[in-house]
């Protein structure tokens, strides 16, 4: 659920950028009207569907922005305590959004399990790339 919440948030942030379209400048000379035998060709912009943003890039952007707030010792890694604070904050947001509640010990146990899963290289810390992979659904 945390991954879903984070990806949804990332997509919501990226949606305005995806919705922007480049306007084609109009020619100073009016185009000749098309005859029935010669239909006008579609412009390349109209023929190309919008490409959705890569959710992993959106998650990476959020991680880059939020990581320093949770990396208390500024070592570029999250230890279990730092990681747990972030995951508990995300879980709190999720629970508020869904109206659900969990006992604190269940949230702590979940955060500990999430740390074990996110720490792919078993270095007892989670790097930015590991966190992006975990939150993007690449681990666990």
How many CB atoms within 10 Å of residue 103?
A: 8
**Per-residue pLDDT at 27 exceeds 50:** no
Looking at CATH, the fold of the domain delimited by 76-140 is given as Recoverin; domain 1 (1.10.238)
* Structure tokens, 88: 């508990």
**Per-residue pLDDT at 57 exceeds 70:** yes
Burial of 82 (0-12, 13-18, 19+ CB in 10 A): buried
**Where exactly are the structural domains of the chain?**
76-140
Q: Which pLDDT value is given to residue 21?
A: 42
Cα–Cα dist 85/96, whole Å: 16
Predicted model pTM: 0.61
Q: Which pLDDT value is given to residue 138?
A: 77
**Per-residue pLDDT at 106 exceeds 60:** yes
**Per-residue pLDDT at 99 exceeds 50:** yes
* Structure tokens, 131: 């966190």
Q: Which pLDDT value is given to residue 8?
A: 52
pLDDT in tens, 113-134: 999 999 999 999 999 999 999 9
Residue 40: name the closest of 51, 32, 48 by CA. Answer: 32
Q: Which pLDDT value is given to residue 56?
A: 74
């Amino acid at each position: 659920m945390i991954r879903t919440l984070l990806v949804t948030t990332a997509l919501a942030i990226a949606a305005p950028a995806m919705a922007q379209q480049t306007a084609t400048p109009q020619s100073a000379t009016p185009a000749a009207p098309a005859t029935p035998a010669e239909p006008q060709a579609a412009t390349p912009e109209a023929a190309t569907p919008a490409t959705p943003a890569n959710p992993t890039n959106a998650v990476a952007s959020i991680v880059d922005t939020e990581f320093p707030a949770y990396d208390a010792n500024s070592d570029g890694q999250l230890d279990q305590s730092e990681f747990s604070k972030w995951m508990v904050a995300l879980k709190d947001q999720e629970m508020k959004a869904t109206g659900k509640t969990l006992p604190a010990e269940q949230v702590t146990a979940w955060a500990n399990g999430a740390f074990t899963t996110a720490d792919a290289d078993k270095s007892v810390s989670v790097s930015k790339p590991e966190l992006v992979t975990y939150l993007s659904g690449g681990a666990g």
